[in-house]
Structure 1
Amino acid sequence: MLTIDGSMGEGGGQLLRSSLALSLLTSTPFQITKIRAGRARPGLMRQHLAAVHAATEIGRARTEGAAMGSTELTFHPNGIHSGDYTFAIGGAGSTTLVFQTILLPLLLGGKAPSTLTFEGGTHNPMAPPFDFLERTFLPVLATLGARVDIRLERHGFYPAGGGVWTATVHPTTELAHLELLHRGEVRARHATALIAQIAPAIALRELDTLCNLLSWEREDSKPTVVRHSHGPGNALLATIACDHVIEVITGFGERGVRAETVAEGVAREVARYLAANVPVGEHLADQLLLPMALGAGGTIRTVKPSMHCLTQIELVKMFLGLSIRTTEEAPDVWRIDVPSVVASRKS
């Protein structure tokens, strides 16, 4: 059994979610201790438990310690089982993070298509919004041979939640090699401000500020009023569409935070991405490491790897025995080379 220090690296929920995915795909039981030890509220929270329960269900796994506030968990996988599943996170817990926990197991280990329904948060701070999955992450996976269809039925903003969306995962025997070193020409730049049950003026202020700071054409960026939301919400999404990748950068409005402040945060991240002239943004980088390692490997160019990314690298080494190499090529320009576990086993 593999033992994992849950406080290593970024020390948060990603460490647990990636461990669950790798455990399912390698049939490796593990024990994780000190879960979220450095957080203000250590241990498993609702959305972390939702990821554990989802992995347990598709893996017919045996778990110990799967309870609110628990700082230790033992997970014994028992295969990967395709099927129709519904995962209700409760409140506004991130459904996209639960999806990413079980996506690769069902994609690479499933025997038949799986249909997944998620209920909960779709646009949460500290998690990829649905739009990022749809426009950025899944299109890159599609170039590797993955077929995953998703459809949003209702937005779910923090803190009310209530979002609903579905995914159909079609299993494949392998993922192709990924080489994403150049983004090509920037073909479009625009932003959308999602608003639900809040004043339209907030969206206009966000868009005005963002476009002014980035010198973007204002007429290309528009507000979107979200109907049928269970509660108020606001998300500002900036899209940079290039020849080889689409990057979506998001900021979330919250009570007490000025619209201009939300836009300034998004503008800083957009400016950093554009200045680095790399194809892979900070958040996409750590999400591509597992598909590359479990597939035919690959090489990407990105900004300086985040702690999330470095933690993924350590986990890949623990579960797969692969050493991922990071190389700084210029200020805030890094190359990441990922070997393939498939090629490693063949050799």
Structure 2
Amino acid sequence: MIIIDGSEGEGGGQVVRNACALSLVTGQPFHITNARGKREKPGLMRQHVTAVEAACAIGGAMCEGLSVGSSDLTFRPGPVTPGEYRFAVGTAGSTGLVLQTVLMPLILAGAPSRLVLEGGTHNMLAPPFDFIAKSFLPVINRMGPRVTARLIRHGFYPRGGGRIEIDIEPAELTAINCVDRGALIGRSATALYAGLPLDVAEREIKTTRGLLDWPEDAFSIRELPEEQGPGNIVLLEAAYEHVTEVVSGFGKLGVSAEHVAKTAAARMAGYLASDAFAGPYLADQLLLPFALAGGGSFTTVKPSQHSLTARVIIEAFLGRRCSFLQLPTGTHRVEIR
């Protein structure tokens, strides 16, 4: 059994999610202590419990210690069964993070699957649906599988109530090299809001327009049905031939619209100033599928603590090395060996 200290590295929920995914793929059980040990509220939250429950459902796994607030967990996997599944987080907890837990095992399961995930689709501290659909899944589809995602209803924090649907056509993962973005195709900045004054979105777009030298038609505002709010997000997209970077800024009580926009624009400007293929969040997501493919490489900006922690979990289950080499340009090349 693999023993994991959940407080090591970044000490968050990603350790639990990656461990469940790798356990289902490899058949190796694990025991984790100090789950989310470095978070303000240690232990499993509702979205983490749902993610593990989803892993148990698709893999016939047995799990001890699974409850909200638990810090110790033992997971014993069974065979993964493809099919149709519905998982509801029950709060605004991220549907994307639940998907992160079960996607790779279902991709390698040998038959199609369909997922319905309900909860948060656009919430802080998790990749929004737009990132999953436009940044992450296109790279996965280049590796062999065919995964499509549909946003049925937005779900903002704290209400939740969102819904996404995922169709998975499985295939063996093929190692690929992602070191070149290709030519720039387009850019867009969109402020989404629901159940909030229009002024919030207008101020965000005005601030973003002043910070990014993009064409006038790249900026837009979109109002969502009031019952899907209250909620607000600024989505910045830079589409290249081979990759699309999606940067988000979430509206938050007590944080000005201008600050939300400035933070998102600064992150996008940092990506545009580099020549890296993957931004920091996409790099975090790509480590697991690249490791399961047994090879491949991609370039990214400075590796995050999430990536460095994921490397440790991957090595524990697969024995494959994820190396980070800084290049003269300042970007990093990530290789799986």
TM superposition score normalised by structure 2 = 0.98
Secondary structure of the corresponding residue to residue 310 of structure 1: helix
CA contact (8 A) 2:193 2:229 kept: no
Alignment of 1:124 with 2:123, yes or no, is yes
How far apart, in 2, do the equivalents of 1:73 and 1:31 lie?
Answer: 6
Partner of 2:18: 18
Which residue of 298, 301, 309 maps to 1:300? 298
Q: Residues 334-345 of structure 1: matches in 2 within 5 Å? A: 334-339=332-337
Write the distance in 1 (CA, Å) between the matches of 2:145 and 2:210: 38
Shift of 1:41: 1.1
The residue that corresponds to 2:331 in the other structure is 333
Contact 1:2 1:31 in 2 (8 A): yes
Distance, in Å, in 2 between the alignment partners of 1:270 and 1:4 is 34
Q: Is the 8 A contact 1:55 1:61 kept in 2?
A: yes
Per the alignment, residue 244 of structure 1 pairs with 242
Show the counterpart of 1:177.
Answer: 175
Indicate if the aligned counterparts of 1:203 and 1:259 stay in contact, CA closer than 8 A.
Answer: yes
Partner SS, residue 277 of structure 2: coil
Q: Which portions of structure 1, spanning 4 or more consecutive aligned residues, are displaced by more than 3 angstroms?
A: none
Q: Cα distance, 1:171 vs. partner?
A: 1.5
The C-alpha deviation readout for 1:191-247, integer Å capped at 9, x for no partner, is: 111111111121111111112111222332101111264431001000001121111
Aligned residues: 337
SS in 2 for 1:166: strand
Match of 2:258 in 1: 260
SS at match of 1:153: strand
Q: Does 1:32 align with 2:52?
A: no
Query: Mapping of 1:39-188 within 5 angstroms?
Result: 39-108=39-108, 110-172=109-171, 174-188=172-186
Amino acid at match of 2:90: G
Matched, 1:285 2:309: no
SS at match of 1:201: helix
SS of structure 1 residue aligned to 2:327 = strand
Q: Following the alignment from structure 1 to structure 2, what is the Cα–Cα distance between the partners of residues 305 and 319?
A: 21
Show structure 2 runs of 5+ residues with no match: none
Question: C-alpha offsets along residues 146-205 of structure 1, whole Å, 9 cap, x if unaligned?
Answer: 211211111000000000111111121x11222111112222111111111111121111
Single out whichever of 11-20 and 194-203 deviates more from structure 2. Answer: 194-203
The aligned residue for residue 7 of structure 1 is: 7
- Write the distance in 2 (CA, Å) between the matches of 1:229 and 1:170: 34
RMSD, matched Cα = 1.1
- State the shift of 1:279 in Å: 1.4
Would the aligned equivalents of 1:155 and 1:229 in 2 still touch at CA under 8 Å?
Answer: no
Query: 1:179-218 residue pairs with structure 2 within 5 A?
Result: 179-218=177-216
**Is the contact made by 1:154 and 1:229 (CA closer than 8 Å) also made in structure 2?**
no
- Which amino acid in the other structure matches residue 292 of structure 1? F
Q: 1:325 touches 1:338 (CA, 8 Å); kept in 2? A: yes
Kept after mapping to 1: 8 A contact 2:294/2:320: no
**More deviation, 206-215/118-127:** 206-215
> How far apart, CA to CA, are the structure 1 residues paired with 2:52 and 2:208?
38
What amino acid does structure 2 have at the position aligned with 1:4?
I
Task: Report if the CA contact (8 A) 1:18-1:312 is conserved.
Answer: yes
After superposition, what is the alpha-carbon deviation per residue over 1:295-331, rounded to whole angstroms, capped at 9, x for unaligned? 1411111100000000111111110011111111136
The letter for the 2-side match of 1:231 is G
Identity of aligned residues (%): 48
2-side partners of 1:227 and 1:140: how far apart? 32
Contact 1:207 1:218 in 2 (8 A): no
| Letter of the structure 1 residue corresponding to residue 111 of structure 2 | A
Write the distance in 2 (CA, Å) between the matches of 1:171 and 1:38.
35
Residue 276 of structure 1 is matched in structure 2 by 274
In 2, Cα distance between the equivalents of 1:209 and 1:237?
A: 13
**Residue 188 of structure 1 contacts residue 240 of structure 1 at CA under 8 Å; is this kept in 2?**
yes
Alpha-carbon distance, 1:43 to partner: 0.6
In the superposition, relative to structure 1, how do residues 221 and 161 fare at CA in structure 2: closer, same or farther (>3 Å)?
same
1:261 Cα deviation (Å)? 0.2
- Match of 2:193, SS state, is strand
